[in-house]
């Protein structure tokens, strides 16, 4: 059983929305604000329908840099499964998206999932520090999936 709290090495950064008569702009990351071990090497955007969850899963080597900017709200679940971590066994939950845009850096070994709880389709950007399936997509995918295991300790509310 996990206890609730903040997880060591997980970085949550509020994102500032700069609006004018043309629309808005949000900086997702800056090289001068990210530790080198989390520097992105690729990026993708996904759209998730209301009520749908992605995960929980974890990575052995990959860190994810998620940007939740809307147009919906997501409940982000994190579980520290790194035995060497000072927060091993801690679960952290973050509400992120349209009303609270933020970037969340999830280190390797932290199980993570997010669910669209905002009632409308929502987009998420991910800027991971490893290439999906390696160079040329010729390597095993760095992913341990938990979402199809009904006995998993990593459960969403």
Closest-CA residue to 33 (of 52, 11, 8, 56): 11
Residue 2, pLDDT > 90, answer no
- Identify whether the C-beta of residue 40 lies closer than 8 Å to the C-beta of residue 76: no
- Identify whether the C-beta of residue 134 lies closer than 8 Å to the C-beta of residue 105: no
Task: Dig out the tokens for 42 from the structure.
Answer: 């690729």
Q: Tokens 């973050």 belong to which residue?
A: 94
Residue ranges of domains in the chain: 3-132
Closest-CA residue to 85 (of 105, 63, 59, 109): 109
- Identify whether the C-beta of residue 110 lies closer than 8 Å to the C-beta of residue 46: no
Quick one: average pLDDT of 6-34? 93
Residue 29, pLDDT > 90, answer no
Residue 1, pLDDT > 90, answer no
Report, in angstroms and rounded to the nearest whole number, the Rg of the chain calculated over CA atoms.
15
Residue 154, pLDDT > 80, answer yes
Which pLDDT does position 54 carry in this prediction?
97
pLDDT in tens, 49-64: 999 999 999 999 999 9
Q: Could you say which architecture CATH assigns to the domain 3-132?
A: Sandwich (2.60)
SS3 content of the chain, % helix, strand, coil (to 5): 5, 45, 50
Quick one: average pLDDT of 28-55? 95
Q: What's the rounded Cα separation, in Å, for the pair 45 and 149?
A: 26
For β-strands 3-4 and 90-97, DSSP reports them as parallel
Q: Is 54 left (phi over 0), alpha (psi -120 to 50) or beta?
A: beta
């Amino acid at each position: 059983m996990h206890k609730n709290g903040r997880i060591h090495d997980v970085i949550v950064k509020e994102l500032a929305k700069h609006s004018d008569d043309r629309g808005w702009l949000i900086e997702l990351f800056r090289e001068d604000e990210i530790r080198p071990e989390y520097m992105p090497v690729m990026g993708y955007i996904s759209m998730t329908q209301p009520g749908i969850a992605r995960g929980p899963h974890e990575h052995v080597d990959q860190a994810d840099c998620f940007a939740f900017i809307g147009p919906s709200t997501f409940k982000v679940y994190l579980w520290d499964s790194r035995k060497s971590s000072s927060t091993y066994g801690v679960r952290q939950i973050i509400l992120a998206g349209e009303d609270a845009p933020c970037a969340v850096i999830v280190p390797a070994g932290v199980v993570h999932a997010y669910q669209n709880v905002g009632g409308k389709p929502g987009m998420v950007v991910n800027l991971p520090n490893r290439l999906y399936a390696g160079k040329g997509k010729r390597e095993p995918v760095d992913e341990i999936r938990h979402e199809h295991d009904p006995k998993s300790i990593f459960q969403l509310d």
